Amino acid sequence: MEYQIEKKKAPGRPEVEVLGKTFEKGKPEDKDAGRWRQKLDSRQEKLKYLQTGERYWYGKEWYGSEKRKNPA
């Protein structure tokens, strides 16, 4: 894959090089892509999947790249 580099103006600088589009066009070939409900067997597994996802977004005890360890 060949990367596209674009030159753009940036605040405080005349021009900088920015990496352009890095994806390949196309559609997923797997017909089951995104169908998580059918992949999980029991109701308990589905609830655990949803609770884990909610903990990622709304949890207070987790420190990931999107959240700060010490609140601002």
> Residue 28: inside a domain, yes or no?
no
Predicted local confidence at residue 67, as pLDDT: 59
> Residue 54: inside a domain, yes or no?
yes
**Contact between residue 8 and residue 15 where contact means Cβ atoms under 8 Å apart:** yes
> Residue 2: inside a domain, yes or no?
no
Predicted local confidence at residue 44, as pLDDT: 92
Residues of the chain with pLDDT below 50 are none
> Residue 56: inside a domain, yes or no?
yes
Nearest to 60 by CA among 71, 49, 50, 47: 71
Total domains present in the chain: 1
**Where in the sequence is the domain holding 43, given as residue range(s)?**
35-60
> Residue 29: inside a domain, yes or no?
no
Predicted local confidence at residue 49, as pLDDT: 87
Q: Could you tell me the pTM of the whole model?
A: 0.39
Rounded Cα distance, 66 and 58, in Å: 11
